[in-house]
């Protein structure tokens, strides 16, 4: 979009004023801390760049996806080392679109159909599982392990059936699941691997000497940009893949189910808008209104993307800060290893941590709630490991085991996590002083 010299000069003046506004009114002193101050488990960390980008995009008044969206998708794909990225309006939408792409008839024998099975875990966030059930496929729940809090890969073969089409699981709190074993299992049985990377952006995993960021090992992957996540644009998410056909399906399901790939505001981008024959439609039917799938409108706005573009520059230092904070918690709390199961990084991984999780051991003289109550009373936010055991929630009351979902073996470890585990934040806004204070509260709650 070409603009005049006068308009460009006006924009620059506005951006300078916005940067000044940030310094005077929005900048947060994160170093200042007094006992009793709120210590959140996570939160947005930003500077003037995000605010300037946001205002700059608003001056375009292009309210849907535009130039910042294009920039974000291109840079994000390059950062992850994948070919294709598609921005959506949330991480939950990203999971929905990633799964729905696998239902495309264009995939032939590998198409996921209603009644087909998808291996996953019940110990996680519900929107990893929701798209499977909402479509009419069958989730097959496998237990997890402690202290990694990820899928128990020894159960994969037992979970397999002649209906299995995919594995869809998340990297728990930034700790990668056993990608080597899961990837080999999927390759052996010709299954799709969907990496829910929403809590692990920036994590690394090595297989046979090759290191990639998580999200680049699966057939398709997702990220979330909700404020607590590794980078944020308020609401927002992304679906990414190296598979050109899956990318084409993602774009279709994201953009109303259209067959046309013309971007917003660019009619007849393909050059064949009025000369095609599609389905039973008349020859020359406007390609912009041909629907090859029953899709959605899950695009993000350019203003969200503008914030995301500024955040991308901070991803690596954010990940480094998360690792540093996690390491400090681990060192501080090591003396509690007799009563608390402390987390361990997955083998062959370098996690970009989302949180520091602990599980109260059997025989301890206190409960999980004793610790979380003490933390919350000191204005320190705590979180449980999401659903704990999803199938025990009210949303499963209407579903029947063996028909709507399957469980492999017992979910004893999942239940242990549900009853005894909690986590605290490691986000870049924390300081050593805050981490040490949180650690002291935990120690006192454990009787030390």
Going from N- to C-terminal start, the domains of the chain cover: 57-308, 312-444
The mean pLDDT value of the chain amounts to 97
Q: What 8-state DSSP symbol labels residue 175? A: B
Relative orientation angle of helices 48-60 and 5-21, to the nearest 10 degrees: 140
> How is residue 96 written in tokens?
């929905």
H or E stretch covering 374: helix 368-377
Q: Which residues contact 396 (CB under 8 A, 6 or more apart)?
A: 390, 405
Q: Which of 84, 229, 287, 293 is catalytic?
A: 229
| Tens-digit pLDDT profile for residues 128-159 | 999 999 999 999 999 999 999 999 999 999 99
Query: Binning pLDDT at 50, 70 and 90, where does residue 1 land?
Result: low
Phi, psi (rounded to 5 degrees) for 321: -65, -40
Strands (E), 201-266: 204-207, 210-213, 220-224, 237-241
Residue written as token pair 């110990």: 123
Burial 428-441 (b: 16+ CB within 10 A, else e): bbbeeebbebbbeb
| Tens-digit pLDDT profile for residues 67-116 | 999 999 999 999 999 999 999 999 999 999 999 999 999 999 999 999 99
Cα separation, 441 vs 448, in Å, equals: 10
Q: What 8-state DSSP symbol labels residue 284? A: T
Is there a contact between 249 and 101 (Cβ–Cβ < 8 Å)? yes
Is there a contact between 166 and 139 (Cβ–Cβ < 8 Å)? no
Is there a contact between 63 and 302 (Cβ–Cβ < 8 Å)? yes
Q: What angle do CA 339, 228, 328 make, to 5 degrees?
A: 40
> Catalytic residue at 229?
yes
Mean pLDDT of 206-221: 98
| Tens-digit pLDDT profile for residues 392-445 | 999 999 999 999 999 999 999 999 999 999 999 999 999 999 999 999 999 999
| Tens-digit pLDDT profile for residues 367-396 | 999 999 999 999 999 999 999 999 999 999
Closest to 58 in 3D by CA, of 44, 68, 70, 48: 68
- Indicate the CATH number of 57-308 among 3.40.1350.10, 3.40.640.10, 3.40.50.300, 3.90.1150.10: 3.40.640.10
Relative orientation angle of helices 67-80 and 48-60, to the nearest 10 degrees: 140
Instruction: Flag whether the pTM goes above 0.75.
Output: yes
The class of domain 312-444 in CATH terms is: alpha beta
Q: What is the pLDDT of residue 148?
A: 97
Residue written as token pair 């007849």: 268
């Amino acid at each position: 979009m070409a603009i005049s010299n006068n308009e460009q000069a006006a924009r620059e003046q506005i951006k300078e004023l916005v940067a000044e506004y940030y310094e005077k009114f929005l900048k947060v002193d994160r170093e200042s801390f007094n006992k009793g101050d709120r210590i959140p488990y996570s939160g947005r960390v930003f500077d003037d760049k995000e605010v300037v980008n946001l205002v700059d995009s608003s001056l375009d008044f292009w309210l849907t996806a535009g130039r910042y969206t294009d920039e974000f998708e291109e840079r994000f794909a390059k950062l992850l080392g994948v070919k294709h990225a598609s921005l959506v309006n949330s991480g939950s939408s990203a999971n929905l679109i990633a799964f729905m792409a696998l239902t495309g008839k264009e995939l032939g024998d590998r198409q996921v159909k209603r009644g087909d099975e998808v291996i996953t875990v019940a110990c996680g966030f519900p929107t990893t599982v929701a798209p499977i059930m909402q479509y009419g496929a069958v989730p097959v729940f496998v237990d997890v392990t402690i202290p990694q809090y990820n899928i128990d890969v020894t159960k994969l073969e037992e979970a397999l059936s002649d209906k299995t089409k995919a594995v869809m699981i998340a990297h728990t709190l930034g700790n990668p699941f056993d990608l080597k074993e899961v990837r080999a299992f999927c390759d052996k049985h010709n299954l799709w691997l969907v990496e829910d990377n929403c809590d692990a952006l920036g994590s690394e995993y090595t297989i046979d000497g090759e290191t990639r960021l998580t999200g680049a090992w699966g057939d398709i992957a997702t990220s979330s940009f909700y404020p607590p996540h590794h980078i944020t644009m308020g609401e927002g998410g992304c679906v990414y893949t190296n598979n050109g056909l899956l990318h084409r399906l993602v774009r279709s399901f994201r953009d109303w189910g259209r067959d046309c790939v013309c971007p917003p505001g660019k009619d007849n981008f393909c050059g064949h808008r009025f000369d095609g024959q599609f389905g039973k439609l008349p020859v020359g039917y406007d390609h912009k209104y041909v629907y090859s799938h029953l899709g959605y409108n899950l695009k993000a706005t350019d203003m969200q993307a503008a914030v995301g573009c500024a955040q991308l520059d901070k991803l690596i230092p954010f990940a480094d800060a998360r690792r540093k904070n996690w390491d400090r918690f681990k060192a501080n709390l090591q003396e509690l290893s007799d009563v608390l199961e402390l987390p361990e990084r997955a083998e062959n991984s370098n996690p970009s941590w989302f949180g520091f999780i602990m599980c109260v051991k059997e025989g301890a003289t206190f409960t999980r709630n004793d610790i979380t109550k003490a933390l919350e009373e000191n204005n320190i936010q705590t979180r449980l490991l999401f659903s704990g055991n999803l199938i025990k929630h009210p949303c499963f009351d209407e579903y029947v085991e063996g028909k709507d979902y399957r469980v492999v073996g017992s979910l004893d470890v999942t239940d242990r996590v549900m009853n005894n585990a909690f986590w605290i934040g490691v986000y870049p806004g924390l300081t050593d002083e805050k981490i040490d204070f949180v650690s002291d509260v935990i120690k006192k709650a454990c009787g030390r």
